[in-house]
Structure 1
Amino acid sequence: MLISLILGSLVGAVLGLTGAGGGILAVPVLVIGMGLPMQQATPVALIAVAGSAAIGALEGFRQGLVRYRAALLMAVAGVPLTSLGVKLAHILPQRVLLTLFALTMLVVAGRLLRQALGAKRGVARTSSLWVGRVNPETGRLVWSWRVGLALASTGAVTGLLTGLLGVGGGFVIVPMLRKFTDVSMHGIVATSLMVIALVGTCGMLVALAAGARTPFELTLWFSATTALGMAGGRCASRSLSARHVQIVFGSALVCVALGLLVKARLGA
């Protein structure tokens, strides 16, 4: 029980510090720290991450940061793919799932470390791929078919990974919104949390309907401490350097990914 409390707090703190990408740690800590198989760890992780993301999204709503139309479009596009991901997760062997998860973590870690180590202070964020821009007069996102396609594609990838690996998907949503829109970083994170809450809840329900079994007491305490950890992480994020947080988080992802690869190699 104590281990689940510590691990839940850790996942929540990282989720709060990184804004939306910390949910990728939920499944690995349950697999490595609690000894759960991937198929059982996935719904537990989704319950914890979706609940914590919902709390963050509500805070974003109060501050007027959530782009709810964009979030709803991504969620609608992601939900059907979530069901496909859950079906694949029940078909694929444990070793294959662990390897896929580890490779995903390494890709995310590489992007974070490259971004953090190559960051230049004082340089305005720009992208040649921006298809969605915020109208400075209304503060609203200007919609077009290209914006809709970019957001729907982002939601579809998020939904597939949510069902397959039990991740929140913030590590997909945040960089894609940064690449395709000029929405502020605070708005991107708040919008991402809403998508994670919606798609994660759907993924959890689909996994449970497919026969996944979750230990009730572990799920309850892990979810509660994840939510508390996220609140603490969001408070701490205001006084910590985003660049340093990215470096530490990316390095942690590399270590956890290597641990998953070793576990997969040894036969899970």
Structure 2
Amino acid sequence: MLIMLFFSAMLVGFSLGLMGAGGSIIAVPILMLLMEMSEKVAIKHALIIVGMISLVGAINGLRKNLIDAKVLTYFALSSLPLASVGALVGHALPNGWQTAILVALMLISAFKMVASKTLDSNTQKSLLIVLISGGIAGFVTGLVGIGGGFLIVPALVLYAGLNMQQAVANSLVLIAINAAAAFVTLNIAIDSLPTDWLVVSVMSISGVIAVVGGQLIAAKINQQILKRGFAICLLGVSVALLVNQF
């Protein structure tokens, strides 16, 4: 079981390193399907794991001078408060609702990964859209334990004027801080959710190794092929989640 967790976490880390998105959306299903955790416990674990993996990727981006402090500040203004709100709303939802929302987001993400073309930076920057995107990404992170990178990366490229490499690095910073905000909120407001630190350690360590590797080879992989392959993976995991629910 730990071997399967190791390779699953590697997939999470590689995707985050390559695209600044994608890996975190399968962390919750992995924990539910492999470790048989309830959705709320899985979300709490995913926030720790994805946050730690993203943090290491963010530090690597900082070393390469890819971080834009001004853009991060604007994004964080809306994403951090709503990450906490999303965590509380998610915990209050009846069992099964968060899984249903997660499956819907996985299907939408899979479709967008297949349909989307290469992003080109928009010279017409829009602070309002950046703030709105940040708020939605933060809320989604808290609600279902995924990083929201599929919202963050396009917003950073199209409306904040960053190139793809910068957007990926900044996305990892935002995912890390949103996950931290949601996790802290859950710990303060609800202390009844258990934490399996062995699972957290195995997935975090293997994911950290993979995110750095993903960043190193990002420029050498055809992004369209990668997106299509990951979309197929998302479809398969979403079907497995639905079968597991019924």
TM-score (norm 1): 0.84
State the 4+ residue runs in structure 1 displaced beyond 4 angstroms: none
Q: Which residue of 2 aligns with 1:131?
A: 124
Extract unaligned runs of 5+ from structure 1: 133-145
Could you tell me how far apart the structure 2 residues matched to 1:92 and 1:185 are?
A: 36
CA contact 2:48–2:183 (8 Å) conserved in 1: yes
Summarize the alignment of residues 106-145 of structure 1 with structure 2, pairs less than 5 Å apart.
Answer: 106-115=107-116, 125=120, 127=122, 131-132=124-125
CA contact 1:44–1:214 (8 Å) conserved in 2: yes
CA contact 2:121–2:163 (8 Å) conserved in 1: no
Could you tell me how far apart the structure 1 residues matched to 2:101 and 2:27 are?
A: 15
CA contact 1:154–1:176 (8 Å) conserved in 2: yes
Could you tell me how far apart the structure 1 residues matched to 2:22 and 2:4 are?
A: 22
Could you tell me how far apart the structure 2 residues matched to 1:181 and 1:35 are?
A: 40
Summarize the alignment of residues 1-268 of structure 1 with structure 2, pairs less than 5 Å apart.
Answer: 1-115=2-116, 125=120, 127=122, 131-132=124-125, 146-147=126-127, 149-209=128-188, 210-211=190-191, 212-264=193-245, 266=246
Change (3 A) 1:202 1:95: same
Could you tell me how far apart the structure 2 residues matched to 1:180 and 1:52 are?
A: 26
Query: Alignment length, in residue pairs?
Result: 243
Could you tell me how far apart the structure 1 residues matched to 2:134 and 2:28 are?
A: 20
Question: Which amino acid in the other structure matches residue 151 of structure 2?
Answer: V
CA contact 2:28–2:42 (8 Å) conserved in 1: yes
Extract unaligned runs of 5+ from structure 2: none
Identity %: 28
Identify the structure with bigger relative contact order (alpha carbons < 8 Å, sequence gap 6+). 1
Quote the offset at 1:126 in angstroms: 5.7
State the Cα RMSD in Å: 1.8
What SS is found at the alignment partner of 1:36? coil
Could you tell me how far apart the structure 1 residues matched to 2:4 and 2:121 are?
A: 43
Quote the offset at 1:181 in angstroms: 3.3
Could you tell me how far apart the structure 2 residues matched to 1:247 and 1:260 are?
A: 20
Could you tell me how far apart the structure 1 residues matched to 2:33 and 2:90 are?
A: 18
Quote the offset at 1:192 in angstroms: 0.9
Change (3 A) 1:126 1:192: closer
Question: Which amino acid in the other structure matches residue 131 of structure 1?
Answer: Q
CA contact 2:16–2:172 (8 Å) conserved in 1: no
TM-score (norm 2): 0.91
Instruction: Report which stretch shifted further, 163-172 or 19-28.
Output: 19-28
Question: Which amino acid in the other structure matches residue 208 of structure 2?
Answer: A
Quote the offset at 1:112 in angstroms: 0.7
What SS is found at the alignment partner of 1:238? helix
Could you tell me how far apart the structure 2 residues matched to 1:126 and 1:249 are?
A: 24
CA contact 1:72–1:195 (8 Å) conserved in 2: no
CA contact 2:45–2:195 (8 Å) conserved in 1: yes
Could you tell me how far apart the structure 1 residues matched to 2:58 and 2:194 are?
A: 27
CA contact 1:48–1:222 (8 Å) conserved in 2: yes
Question: Which amino acid in the other structure matches residue 226 of structure 1?
Answer: G
Question: Which amino acid in the other structure matches residue 45 of structure 1?
Answer: A
Alpha-carbon displacement from aligned partner over 1:118-142 (angstroms, at most 9, x marks no partner): x6xxxx8265xx532xxxxxxxxxx
Could you tell me how far apart the structure 2 residues matched to 1:244 and 1:158 are?
A: 25
Question: Which amino acid in the other structure matches residue 124 of structure 2?
Answer: V
